[in-house]
Homo-oligomer: A and B are copies of this chain.
């Protein structure tokens, strides 16, 4: 083990999550804008890493870091990163990746089959077919979502008599050619903010991301979906896509995909399911029904760097129809030849690393049951945490967890009765908000554990913005014990703030 690896190992052994150094202090160390003329030695840089960087990174692998969607990675994945970097393949093109092109297509096919379950014949025709794109590996869920929406946009405004296609003529021309007033996307408030980015970036504007009402659990209202489709049609709007979420970033909630899919099918609208977080539930025999209907989605986003336990920077988009991505195809003589195996032909990104090695390896080594056990355990631990919270007067559970994201808050002693009887005023809720901000900040500063904080519109408080403590329980290192300790620590802090 060389020195850099020792550094890495020592980082994982840290018991605290991060140094409690003031940000304004910390940033002073990073105020250099001049490149050194001669450069410094590796030893000197190692000292810098050891003293300035590592103590001030966030130990997202800690079993008590349950605030965001990061986790300890499997050791074999960490070891493999050196191989992937050494190989330095570029999967944009066969000549810079060769076998990795086929490995990527196989990895994508394995995910595709798990979601769509087509026949042996379908896969034997499509898996390594130059003309077929079952999906793309991307740098993350955002690019996966953008890719899906670009494909949906381009395929619904494609070439026809007197019109060369939106890819050539742009949106204004496309809407004119097809006689639409505007183009919209339908989804709920629970969508990830990348969809708002996408609506801006693909040129329809985020005002045209039409927000469908949700029920008390934050799930898409089917009634309102029908209503919004009707309104869009009346306004002569093209509906590029309905987007359902499977594992909302804030709450873990899953939209009623099956019912949405029926409507999408009937209305002939592209259905995209953003399963960046919840996708791997498909591996669990116990929980996979939560995703029922996802096999009808025209495109699906899954993140590798979330519940597939791959390194940061790996997302994935799947396409039901292997020809859908033809709508975004581009080529160039010097690099991406038409009719080649080159993966860069039908992707948003160009050059990219051989991240399929991680994906293929993890799928092969964990197997279905490996991923199933991660999912089952995470959901079990989250239910456990919810149960404990319900037992304590100190806490209020704000949403029964659907999967492994939990929203709750701490209640100061003097307002516990009113919380129970459901008679809190808006002012009192504001007071509780401040209390939870103080609590979460203090716990973060102490550095032993970390839960995140968000402001959520809670139905039972008539959509008042409620500051909630948010736990994401996915780190396999997090045991029941740590969950109990984190709550215990919060109760201790409550005595002091």
Closest to A40 in B: B364
* List of B residues within 8 angstroms of A247 by Cβ: none
A243–B450 Cα distance when bound, in Å, is 45
Pair A352/B313 contact, Cβ less than 8 Å: yes
B-contact bits for A337-372, CB 8 A (1 contact / 0 none): 000010000001111111101000101111111100
Could you tell me if A73 and B58 are in contact, using CB atoms closer than 8 angstroms? no
What 1/0 flags go to A76-91 for Cβ under 8 Å of B? 1111111111111110
CA distance A68 to B355 in the complex (A): 20
Nearest opposing residue in chain B for A196, CB measure = B330
Q: Report which of B71, B98, B341, B470 forms a contact with A56, defined as CB distance below 8 A.
A: B98
Contact segment of A123-131, A224-232, A257-265, A388-396: A123-131
Given A36-B368, A53-B99, residue A201 in contact with residue B200 (CB < 8 A): no
Contact-residue bracket for chain A: 35 or more
Q: Mark A423-439, 1 if CB is under 8 A from B, else 0.
A: 00000000000000000
Across the interface, do A140 and B352 meet the contact criterion of CB distance under 8 Å? yes
Q: Flag if B38 contacts A369 (CB, 8 Å).
A: yes
Residues of chain B with a CB closer than 8 A to A369's CB: 37-39
In the complex, A411 has a CB within 8 A of chain B:
no
Contact A41–B365 (Cβ < 8 Å): yes
Q: How far is the CA of A38 from the CA of B146 in the complex (A)?
A: 34
Name A67's closest neighbour in chain B (CB-CB): B95
Name which of A8, A36, A85, A455 has the most chain B CB atoms within 10 A of its CB. A85
Please pick, from B8, B18, B35, B102, the residue contacting A30 in the complex, using a CB distance under 8 A: B102
Number of copies: 2
One of A171-179, A291-299, A377-385, A485-493 contacting the partner: A171-179
Pick from B72, B83, B94, B124: contact of A4, CB under 8 Å: B83
> Which of A108-116, A213-221, A413-421 forms part of the interface with chain B?
A108-116
Flag if A60 contacts B88 (CB, 8 Å).
Answer: yes
In whole angstroms, how far apart are the Cα atoms of A79 and B2 in the complex?
8
- Residue of B39, B174, B357 touching A364 (CB-CB under 8 A): B39
- In the bound complex, do residue B4 and residue A80 qualify as a contact, i.e. CB atoms below 8 Å apart? yes
* Contacting residue for A332 out of B54, B90, B193, CB 8 A: B193
For A476, list chain B residues within 8 Å (CB). Answer: none
Q: For residue A74, which residue of chain B has the nearest CB?
A: B42
A349 to chain B, nearest CB (A): 5
Specify which of B57, B79, B124 is in contact with A31 (CB 8 Å cutoff): B124
Residues from chain B with Cβ under 8 Å of A357 in the complex: 49, 53
**CB <8 Å contact, B452 and A352:** no
The CA of A245 and the CA of B144, in the complex, are separated in Å by: 28
B residues less than 8 Å from A183 (CB atoms): 170
Question: Is A161 on the interface with B (CB-CB < 8 A)?
Answer: no
**A212 CA / B409 CA spacing, docked (Å):** 60
Contacts of A192 in B (CB 8 A): 332, 350
A106 with B32, Cβ < 8 A, contacts A45-B364, A142-B348 known = yes
Closest residue of chain B to A4 (Cβ to Cβ) is B79
The answer to whether B68 and A90 have CB atoms under 8 Å apart is yes
Is A182 an interface residue when CB atoms closer than 8 A count as contact? Answer: yes
Smallest beta-carbon distance A496→chain B, Å: 23
A40 and B363 CA atoms in complex are apart in Å by 9
Among A268-292, those with CB < 8 Å from B are: 283
- Is A305 engaged at the interface, CB distance under 8 Å to the other chain? yes
Interface residue? A255 (CB, 8 A): no
| A-B pairs with beta carbons under 8 Å apart, 11 shown | A2-B79, A4-B76, A11-B83, A30-B103, A36-B363, A57-B87, A60-B87, A68-B95, A70-B96, A78-B85, A170-B207
* Apart from A166-B205, A303-B351: 12 A-B pairs, beta carbons within 8 A: A30-B127, A39-B364, A58-B98, A61-B86, A140-B351, A143-B348, A150-B200, A173-B182, A193-B330, A197-B350, A201-B202, A312-B354
